[in-house]
């Protein structure tokens, strides 16, 4: 976890361990509409992360006690495959995935026009096939593309990206080593058209100045991702963005 002190030298001659500059994203590839059974879907590769997202809905909300009389609820479900990490992960829901599912639901409810579907549920299932740090951001990025692909009314598409601190330097989009042995991790998700922040977490320690710098960096990363998300959706329907 971030926050520790490590003697690993993460940055040599201005380059990180994987050859990136401090403010450079890993390579991202997004494809919309990859699953036949789901109403909307997305496959995302982000560095070595691989994530599928599928959307069902809006459908009747079950169990009924979870229904909201004036709006729909977004039921996001984040899960990691047993083979997604080095040590086999025990399959199924755990504390970490229920926390992530909850915050992702909250973030998505901010853009989905839930008031149009009283008493309904919109199910968003995200499966991490391979994990290499930053999977909650990857899952949220994929989920919002899948929601748009499902034809669900939204005010915007959410991109999500992390910044952090390694070897006393603020860097964008931590990889596995930086996340595990770095000093801080700051995942961010925004609504690009309004600049609203819909997800912000911090693991580790940052000074106020570093925090500002990391926030700016993650914000820019989100904006770059947003373009990739838009291009993926436009490509699905024959238009090049």
- Interface residue list for other proteins (CB under 8 A): 39-40, 57-60, 72, 111, 113, 116-120, 148-157, 192-194, 223, 230, 233-234, 237-241
Alpha-carbon span 127 to 146, nearest angstrom: 13
Q: Which is nearer to other proteins, 103 or 154 (CB)?
A: 154
Return the structure tokens found at 216.
């700016």
Q: Which is nearer to other proteins, 124 or 174 (CB)?
A: 124
Q: Residue 215 Cβ, how far from other proteins at the closest point, in Å?
A: 18
Q: Which is nearer to other proteins, 152 or 184 (CB)?
A: 152
Alpha-carbon span 107 to 92, nearest angstrom: 22
Q: Residue 38 Cβ, how far from other proteins at the closest point, in Å?
A: 11
Q: Which is nearer to other proteins, 53 or 111 (CB)?
A: 111
Alpha-carbon span 107 to 160, nearest angstrom: 10
Q: Residue 103 Cβ, how far from other proteins at the closest point, in Å?
A: 21
Determine contact, residues 33/40, Cβ cutoff 8 Å.
yes
Q: Identify the CA nearest to 114 among candidates 74, 157, 85, 168.
A: 74
The torsion defined by the Cα of 103, 105, 108 and 114, in degrees rounded to 10, comes to -140
Q: Residue 125 Cβ, how far from other proteins at the closest point, in Å?
A: 16
Three-state secondary-structure class, residue 122? strand
Q: Which is nearer to other proteins, 118 or 204 (CB)?
A: 118
Three-state secondary-structure class, residue 100? helix
Determine contact, residues 25/172, Cβ cutoff 8 Å.
yes
Q: Residue 9 Cβ, how far from other proteins at the closest point, in Å?
A: 36
Q: Residue 53 Cβ, how far from other proteins at the closest point, in Å?
A: 15
Q: Which is nearer to other proteins, 98 or 155 (CB)?
A: 155
């Amino acid at each position: 976890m971030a926050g520790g002190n490590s003697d690993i030298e993460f940055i040599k001659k201005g380059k990180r361990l994987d050859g990136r500059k401090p403010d450079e994203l890993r390579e991202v590839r997004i494809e919309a509409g990859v699953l036949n059974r789901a109403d909307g879907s997305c496959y995302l590769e982000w560095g070595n992360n691989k994530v599928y997202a599928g959307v069902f809905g809006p459908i009747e909300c079950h169990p009924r006690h979870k229904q909201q009389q004036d709006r729909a609820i977004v039921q996001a479900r984040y899960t990691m495959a047993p083979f997604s990490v080095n040590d086999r992960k025990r399959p199924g829901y755990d504390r970490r995935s229920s926390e992530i599912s909850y915050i992702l639901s909250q973030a998505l409810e901010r853009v989905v026009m839930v008031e149009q579907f009283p008493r309904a549920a919109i199910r968003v299932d995200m499966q991490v096939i391979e994990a290499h740090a930053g999977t909650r951001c990857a899952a949220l990025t994929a989920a919002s593309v899948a929601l748009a692909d499902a034809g669900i009314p939204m005010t915007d598409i959410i991109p999500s990206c992390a910044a952090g601190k390694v070897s006393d330097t603020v860097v964008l989009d931590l990889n596995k080593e930086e996340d595990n042995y770095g000093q801080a991790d700051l995942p961010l998700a925004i609504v690009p058209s309004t600049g609203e922040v819909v997800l912000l977490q911090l693991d580790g320690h940052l000074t106020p100045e570093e925090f500002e710098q990391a926030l700016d960096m993650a914000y820019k990363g989100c904006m770059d991702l947003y373009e990739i998300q838009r291009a993926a959706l436009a490509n699905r329907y024959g238009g090049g963005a």
